[in-house]
Amino acid sequence: MEQIHRTLGWVAIAAISSVGLWGVVASLMKRALPRAFRPALWTSVLLFVVQITLGVYMFSQGNDPGSKHTFYGFIWLFSAAFVYMFKAELEKNPALRWGLVLLYMGWLGYRGVQTFGLGLS
């Protein structure tokens, strides 16, 4: 289970960061987002939701990821909740805004990976 969590973490980070970069580049090139952007966006977010669910399951089984790793998981969830609450605002310039949000979410995932096993000091 640990190996699946580790591997899926990198897949989720790569997916969400790629979609975020796609949005930013489309915005800089002043192009409308293609129809495939939305499914890619929600698939990358779903990968993170599955990843966090696996992490919570492993934690419930007695695995200790460290408090910093857990902290970034919670920050990711809170950020996702706020993004969902303000998703109508993101539609004003969807390519740039969604792109930046997804890059931020990917960065949070990367920080979670970096801090695995570390406690808050």
Output the pTM of the full model.
Answer: 0.89
Closest listed residue to residue 5, CA positions, set 77, 46, 55, 74: 55
Q: What is the mean pLDDT of the chain?
A: 91
Total domain count for the chain? 1
In a domain, 67, yes or no: yes
| Percentage, residues of the chain above pLDDT 70 | 97
pLDDT in tens, 5-60: 889 999 999 999 999 999 999 999 999 899 999 999 999 999 999 999 999 999 99
Q: Which residue segment(s) compose the domain that 28 sits in?
A: 2-114
In a domain, 63, yes or no: yes
pLDDT per residue as tens digits for the range 85-112:
998 888 888 999 999 999 999 999 999 9
